[in-house]
Amino acid sequence: CEPREPTRTGMSKEALKQAYIDNLFFIQGRFREVATPHDLYMAAAYTARDRLLERWVRSAQLFKSSHARTVCYLSAEYLLGPHLAKTLINLGISQAAREAAEDLELDFTTVLEEEEEPGLGNGGLGRLAACYMDSLATLGIPAIGYGIRYEFGIFDQRIEDGWQVEVSDNWLRNGNPWEIPRPKICFPVCYGGDTERYRDADGQWRTRWVPAMVIQGMAYDTPILGFGTDNVNLLRLWKSEAAESLDFQAFNIGDYYGAVHAKIEAETISKILYPNDEPEAGKELRLKQQYFFVSCSMQDMIRLHLNTVGPLEQFDQKFVAQLNDTHPALAIAELMRLLLDEHLMDWEQAWGITHRTFCYTNHTLLPEALETWPVALFERLLPRHLEIIYEINQHFLDQVRVRFFADDARVARMSLIGEDGERRVRMAHLAVVGSHQVNGVAELHSELVRTTILRDFHDLWPERFTNVTNGVSPRRFIMVSNPRLGRLISEVCGGTGWARDLEQLRRLEEHADDPAFQARWREIKTAAKRDLTEWLRTRADVDLDPAQLFDIQAKRIHEYKRQHLNVLHIIRTYQRIKQDPNHDITPRAFIFGGKAAPGYFTAKLLIKLINAVAEVINHDPAVNGTIRVAFMPDFNVKNAQRLYPAADLSEQISLAGKEASGTGNMKFSMNGALTIGTLDGANIEIRRAVGAENFFLFGMDAAAVARRQAEGYHPWEHYHDDPELRADIDLINSGLFSHGDTSLFRPLTDQLINHDPFMVLADYRAYLEAQDHVSDVYRDSARWTRMSILNAARMGRFSSDRAIHEYAERIWKIAPMPVEPDG
Ligand code: 26Q
């Protein structure tokens, strides 16, 4: 008889069944008859985890023995989404696991649904970090993702009476089977106090930081496996806790209350993710968080380096550190501090190493989103880092003065310290000065980075600037999210190789006009629309019809993203139906999803408006179900996976020049949605890839926006000149959507008519025309389906694998190190 496969590593259905039963028994202490859905999920998670760990250990051994150059991705956010389904796919045992579940009479889908996702991010930037971790492992590039293990991630969103209500996200409540605590990997992190000068053993003047408070960070590791490879990388998240020694000290002198208080204060630092996607003035805890994870991470990198390579002089040969926006930019000052003060290096050498280690990705041009911190706060919290930043600034500005003689205005503009009003540290300037490469996240965005916010820096160091257009993981956003489509693609491509080589999607093109293939394509779309309809029926109390055109806008609620432009189109369609019941309207379901920052009043009012409009339209007999409006509550990765496959039309309607890249645009298009969009962010590149004839373009481009703004923009002229626009805005204020309250939505409409900073009214007419075109094309099902297939077929470039390949080659100079399969 055949030898049995090892229970913890075997990949066959039989091995998985045995492992599952074992884990249910030995980890959860349960047998089938009494197991809760959570027990069943945990047993599945541990079954996958054992197989992950085996590959992880082999990866770690290889990387250690070969002194592999390693990418350290520094990000305050990781929006990972559920692990189980993705891990099974990457292990290549999705099918075997499903069959094992069937044999055990388990409902596989219910088991998967039981997982609580780690929502350790706000939106695009955090999700990008997760896609990049997935691609780093898939490409076999040794990497560590460093971040914060927030005890509470992004809030869960409920909708009550049409308003957003935030519910705390207690994601660790039932335990997290994917993380491995590392109590021995912990580092002290200091705050406050003063600095003092002293002479070292060689008689050199040195600085020592005498902090007021010390806490510690402890590592929690999550293994990240690539697809179709045995490479496993590490996501290392830090949890803050009281430094043990300090605890004891307080206890010894009898200050029990003080000791417990210190413990609580320490634990507060990694307690909760800030739910805003732009900085708020002077939030001290946020700065503490940033320094906390950056300090632990830099100390950990130095420890790893000393354990393997040795001399710190070679630090930048072992590591490259990518800053995901400015949130971790303090790492530059922290590495300098560690090299200067703790490892007694001289300035020039320390600066050389630091500068060669860091690279910086910018994700925004919005002035209100650029991070700056009051010098006074810095001085109080991080006095030593402020000194170091001053010294970096001095060296840097000397360089500027040499290059641009007697240009004081330029020096003031470029300084790391802003002097207009309250003195502030400019984190983007620190990031650029301390890095050897700076990139934007889409072609237009990178161009605008060079010519607007970082123009002076580009004048000084043009070679430092580059572009890497964002990408998304086809494993997550096709295979996991849309398995039906995944299977069809595998059939066309002859296997799952396309998921590692997304250019293979091109092979779909040959079938774009084949009626039989088109029919299958539509069936897949309709099935996904049915699934979503069913979900929304119970979760959002709305009845959609899968025959309708599913028109979806899902992203953070923000004025620059212009959800209100979408609402104006809905209201226009509604008025057309009311005015002429025989008006030939293409049936549509308008679907929204997205969270608003809890303190962002206008965004929350927009959610209320969408729900108020939904309430009226969905219950108006005159509409007769032709159009429907739905707000999907709690847009997170899990729910996003339900949306993308069901979309016919993807709304990417930000004001040109405002959306750095967008990544939802890519996820929709990969799933066969057509885009209605402006020439903003990556939309431009998506349109170029899929062909202008397969993209519904409208509105001003970034240059036209700049011209209009320079001329002086007067939104009320549009309001006065366009009777339909006026009627739409007036209907909002009529009280129809607010039980007669004519003032509820005034803040929104007044802003539009009088200020309209994102030029909604200027693009209104063009948007309506593009939407009418959409409606016409949708009626020609063969034409639409062809366009849909071509969209998916031409999205190869937008795989995060392509993006990571570019980072690895052009920026990090790092080669893959594949882990050979065992046996
Ligand atoms: C900063 C300081 C204090 C508190 C919060 C923040 C903060 C947190 C999150 C600032 C910004 C963010 C998130 C930004 C973000 O998600 N940007 C998006 O990044 C995507 C990936 O590059 C792009 O596709 C989007 O265009 C961009 O908006």
Report DSSP letters for 612-638, one per residue. HHHHHHHT-TTTTTSEEEEEESS-SHH
Q: Nearest 5°: phi and psi at 363?
A: -120, 5
Q: What percentage of residues in the chain have a pLDDT greater than 90? A: 93
Q: Is the pLDDT of residue 249 over 90?
A: no
Q: Is the CB–ligand 1 distance for residue 659 below 6 Å?
A: yes
**Dihedral angle, C-alpha 708, 709, 715, 720, nearest 10 °:** -30
> How many angstroms does the Cα of residue 125 sit away from the middle of ligand 1?
5
Q: Is the CB–ligand 1 distance for residue 791 below 6 Å?
A: no
What's the pLDDT score for residue 7? 85
Q: Is the CB–ligand 1 distance for residue 131 below 6 Å?
A: no
CB 803 within 8 A of CB 470: yes
Determine the Cα–Cα distance for residues 187 and 418; give it in Å rounded to an integer. Answer: 32
pLDDT tens digits for 35-50?
999 999 999 999 999 9
Q: pLDDT category, 8, cuts 50, 70, 90?
A: confident
> How many angstroms does the Cα of residue 700 sit away from the middle of ligand 1?
24
Determine the Cα–Cα distance for residues 387 and 382; give it in Å rounded to an integer. Answer: 9
Q: pLDDT category, 333, cuts 50, 70, 90?
A: very high
> How many angstroms does the Cα of residue 555 sit away from the middle of ligand 1?
12
Q: Is the pLDDT of residue 91 over 60?
A: yes
Atom of ligand 1 nearest to the CA of 682: 24
Determine the Cα–Cα distance for residues 68 and 309; give it in Å rounded to an integer. Answer: 10
CB 550 within 8 A of CB 522: no
> How many angstroms does the Cα of residue 122 sit away from the middle of ligand 1?
8
Q: pLDDT category, 1, cuts 50, 70, 90?
A: low
Atom of ligand 1 nearest to the CA of 123: 16
Q: Is the CB–ligand 1 distance for residue 467 below 6 Å?
A: no
What's the pLDDT score for residue 611? 98
What's the pLDDT score for residue 254? 76
| Among protein residues, the one whose CA lies closest to atom 25 of ligand 1 | 662
Q: Is the CB–ligand 1 distance for residue 474 below 6 Å?
A: no
pLDDT tens digits for 723-745?
999 999 999 999 999 999 999 99
> How many angstroms does the Cα of residue 277 sit away from the middle of ligand 1?
5
| Among protein residues, the one whose CA lies closest to atom 8 of ligand 1 | 277
What's the pLDDT score for residue 278? 87
- Which of 73, 74, 122 should be mutated for ligand 1, with most atoms under 8 A from CB? 122
Task: Tell me the one-letter amino acid at 95.
Answer: Q
Residue bearing tokens 């460093």: 146
Question: First-to-last CA distance in the chain?
Answer: 20
Tokens linked to 232: 């496993």
What's the pLDDT score for residue 3? 64
Secondary structure (3-state) at 31: coil
Q: What is the ipTM of this complex?
A: 0.99
CB 650 within 8 A of CB 668: yes
Range from 452-466, 577-591, 667-681, 720-734 carrying the lowest mean pLDDT:
577-591
Q: Is the CB–ligand 1 distance for residue 288 below 6 Å?
A: no
Q: Is the CB–ligand 1 distance for residue 231 below 6 Å?
A: no
Looking at residue 449, the DSSP 8-state letter turns out to be: I
Domain ranges of the chain: 67-82+117-468, 474-709+760-805
Q: Is the CB–ligand 1 distance for residue 329 below 6 Å?
A: no
What's the pLDDT score for residue 594? 98
Cα dihedral across residues 23, 25, 30, 31: positive or negative:
positive
pLDDT tens digits for 352-389?
999 999 999 999 999 888 999 999 999 999 999 999 99
pLDDT tens digits for 625-663?
899 999 999 999 999 999 999 999 999 999 999 999 999
Atom of ligand 1 nearest to the CA of 663: 24
| Residue of 664, 671, 667, 665 lying closest to 645 (CA atoms) | 671
What's the pLDDT score for residue 792? 98
pLDDT tens digits for 115-174?
999 999 999 999 999 999 999 999 999 999 999 999 999 999 999 999 999 999 999 999
- Which of 131, 148, 278 should be mutated for ligand 1, with most atoms under 8 A from CB? 278
pLDDT tens digits for 258-282?
878 888 999 999 999 999 988 887 7
| Among protein residues, the one whose CA lies closest to atom 2 of ligand 1 | 279
Q: Is the CB–ligand 1 distance for residue 278 below 6 Å?
A: yes
Q: What percentage of residues in the chain have a pLDDT greater than 70? A: 98
The interaxial angle of helices 330-337 and 383-403, nearest 10 deg, is: 100
- Mean pLDDT throughout 321-341? 98
Q: Is the CB–ligand 1 distance for residue 122 below 6 Å?
A: yes
| Among protein residues, the one whose CA lies closest to atom 9 of ligand 1 | 277
Determine the Cα–Cα distance for residues 36 and 162; give it in Å rounded to an integer. Answer: 34
Tokens linked to 333: 């000052």
Determine the Cα–Cα distance for residues 542 and 556; give it in Å rounded to an integer. Answer: 22
Atom of ligand 1 nearest to the CA of 662: 24
Q: Is the pLDDT of residue 252 over 80?
A: no
Q: Is the pLDDT of residue 555 over 80?
A: yes
- Which of 125, 430, 556 should be mutated for ligand 1, with most atoms under 8 A from CB? 125
Q: Is the CB–ligand 1 distance for residue 665 below 6 Å?
A: no
- Mean pLDDT throughout 23-43? 93
Q: pLDDT category, 2, cuts 50, 70, 90?
A: low
Q: Is the CB–ligand 1 distance for residue 458 below 6 Å?
A: no
| Residue of 821, 484, 458 lying closest to 645 (CA atoms) | 484
> How many angstroms does the Cα of residue 126 sit away from the middle of ligand 1?
8
Phi-psi region of 92 (alpha: psi -120 to 50; beta: other; left: phi over 0): left
pLDDT tens digits for 740-779?
999 999 999 999 999 999 999 999 999 999 999 999 999 9
Q: Is the CB–ligand 1 distance for residue 663 below 6 Å?
A: yes
> How many angstroms does the Cα of residue 470 sit away from the middle of ligand 1?
13
Q: State which fold the 474-709+760-805 domain adopts.
A: Rossmann fold (3.40.50)
> How many angstroms does the Cα of residue 154 sit away from the middle of ligand 1?
14
| β pairing state of 674-677 and 213-225 | unpaired
pLDDT tens digits for 793-805?
999 999 999 999 9
Strands annotated E in 495-636: 549-554, 588-593, 627-632
Sheet of strand 424-426, all strands in order from the earlier edge strand to the far edge:
372-374, 424-426, 417-418
Task: Tell me the one-letter amino acid at 63.
Answer: F
> How many angstroms does the Cα of residue 597 sit away from the middle of ligand 1?
12
Q: pLDDT category, 245, cuts 50, 70, 90?
A: low
> How many angstroms does the Cα of residue 659 sit away from the middle of ligand 1?
10
Q: Is the CB–ligand 1 distance for residue 125 below 6 Å?
A: yes
Atom of ligand 1 nearest to the CA of 126: 16
What's the pLDDT score for residue 244? 75
| Residue of 595, 575, 593 lying closest to 585 (CA atoms) | 575
The separation between CA 408 and the C-alpha centre of its own chain, rounded to angstroms, equals 39
Beta carbons within 8 Å of 693's beta carbon, 6+ residues apart: 787
Q: Nearest 5°: phi and psi at 467?
A: -125, 140
Is there a shared CATH topology between the 67-82+117-468 domain and the 474-709+760-805 domain?
yes
Q: Is the CB–ligand 1 distance for residue 442 below 6 Å?
A: no
Report DSSP letters for 107-149, one per residue. -HHHHHHTPPP-EES-SHHHHHHHHHHHHHHHTT--EEEEEE-
- Mean pLDDT score of the chain, rounded to an integer? 96
| Among protein residues, the one whose CA lies closest to atom 19 of ligand 1 | 125
Q: Is the CB–ligand 1 distance for residue 590 below 6 Å?
A: no
Write out the H or E segment, with its range, that includes residue 27.
Answer: none
Q: How many CA atoms lie within 13 A of 203 on its CB side?
A: 0
Residue bearing tokens 């005015």: 579
Q: Is-above-0.95 flag for pTM?
A: yes
Q: pLDDT category, 784, cuts 50, 70, 90?
A: very high
- Cβ count near 65 (within 10 Å): 9
- Mean pLDDT throughout 523-541? 98
What's the pLDDT score for residue 99? 96
Cα dihedral across residues 483, 487, 492, 493: positive or negative:
positive
Q: Is the CB–ligand 1 distance for residue 275 below 6 Å?
A: no
Beta carbons within 8 Å of 528's beta carbon, 6+ residues apart: 482, 484, 645, 646, 671
> How many angstroms does the Cα of residue 82 sit away from the middle of ligand 1?
21
The interaxial angle of helices 723-733 and 563-579, nearest 10 deg, is: 100
| Among protein residues, the one whose CA lies closest to atom 21 of ligand 1 | 125
- Mean pLDDT throughout 538-558? 97
> How many angstroms does the Cα of residue 718 sit away from the middle of ligand 1?
32
Tokens linked to 399: 């360089």
Q: Is the CB–ligand 1 distance for residue 121 below 6 Å?
A: no
Determine the Cα–Cα distance for residues 328 and 332; give it in Å rounded to an integer. Answer: 8
Atom of ligand 1 nearest to the CA of 278: 10
What's the pLDDT score for residue 326? 98
Q: Is the pLDDT of residue 248 over 70?
A: no
CATH match of 67-82+117-468 with 1.10.10.60: no
Q: Is 584 exposed, middle or buried (0-12, 13-18, 19+ CB in 10 A)?
A: exposed
Q: Nearest 5°: phi and psi at 346?
A: -85, 165
Residues annotated as catalytic (active site), given as ranges: 363, 555-556, 561, 663, 667
